[in-house]
Amino acid sequence: MTITSALPVEFINPFIKALGDTLRVMVGINPVRKSPYIKENLLALYPMSGIISLSGKVVGTVVVTMTDKLALKIASEMLMCPMTEINADVMDAVGEITNMVAGNAKAKLEKYELRLGLPNVIHGTDTDILFPEESHPMTIPFETEFGDVAIEVGFSLKNL
């Protein structure tokens, strides 16, 4: 897995910071970042994925993808009750975390006048995740004591 300059760091760093900050504040988890790489296929990386689109001067897709174990931990903390199986409440919690991450990062990319779409949550790894045409999505993986999580970011920069 290699890194290329396909996506400028100014588009990646706000999402890295937003994911770390959101998990620390909302769930009390300190994710450890691993080496980023260019996403090589369209398949969901982990079973639980929150997907949100951004539009404005550029268009993009942001995915917060995680293990089921981590999704259950996040939902348990946010709902203040133990969650032991994937259900609508867990999917809603993942959608909310995705919305928080995208909203936090969007604030740091003001000059692009981005608007957030509604988050969609999927469960399963056999589903394709679509990114804007001509984007080269980056995957930034993290590890936590409750399972792995990654943020995947793809922007079409052809209008810049």
- Where residue 6 falls among pLDDT bands split at 50, 70, 90? low
The domain 9-156 is classified under which CATH number: 3.40.1550.10, 3.40.47.10, 3.40.50.620, 3.40.50.2300?
3.40.1550.10
pLDDT digits (tens, 9 = 90+) for 59-109: 999 999 999 999 999 999 999 999 999 999 999 999 999 999 999 999 998
Least confident of 29-38, 102-111, 141-150: 102-111
Would the pLDDT of 5 be above 50?
A: no
Which ranges constitute the DSSP H helices of the chain? 9-27, 68-79, 88-107
Distances (CA, A) of 99 to 17, 38, 40, 90, 131: 14, 23, 25, 14, 17
Question: Whole-model pTM?
Answer: 0.92
- Where residue 160 falls among pLDDT bands split at 50, 70, 90? low
- Predicted local confidence at residue 2, as pLDDT: 36
Bridge partners (DSSP) listed for residue 144: 147
Q: Taking the domains of the chain in order of start, what are their residue ranges?
A: 9-156
Least confident of 42-51, 77-86, 149-158: 149-158
- Predicted local confidence at residue 58, as pLDDT: 86
Would the pLDDT of 1 be above 90?
A: no
Bridge partners (DSSP) listed for residue 78: none
pLDDT digits (tens, 9 = 90+) for 96-143: 999 999 999 999 988 888 899 999 999 998 889 999 988 889 999 999
Bridge partners (DSSP) listed for residue 147: 144
